[in-house]
Amino acid sequence: MLRYLRLAQQLGFSLKEIRALQFKLADGQNFCASLRATVESKLEMLAREAEAIDRLQQELNAFLSRCRARDPKLPCPIVEELTQLDTAVATARTKRRG
């Protein structure tokens, strides 16, 4: 049992998922189908997370490229862009309230 728990945790299953599968295994209720559905769901989640990480890496690389290409006497482009983004978000919130 302990080996099963460790393996499932290493594969990224939550304790809640492990418990649900454990009950199905003990009851013999379509364990394979349940396990397959859980694994497929986990893979889909990982794919979404990988895409999000890839987008974040691209954004950070773009920031870094702009930062390296800037004139050192000018303000930091990252801070400038974040300030513009903050202003745009605040403006959008104000318009929605009004």
pLDDT of residue 43: 93
Query: Is residue 97 very low, low, confident or very high in pLDDT (cuts 50, 70, 90)?
Result: confident
Confirm if 63 and 78 have CB atoms less than 8 A apart.
yes
pTM value > 0.95:
no
Q: Which tens digit of pLDDT belongs to each residue from 40-69? A: 999 999 999 999 999 999 988 988 888 888
The domain spans of the chain are 2-97
**pLDDT of 98 higher than 70:** no
Q: Is 42 helix (H, G, I), strand (E, B) or coil?
A: helix
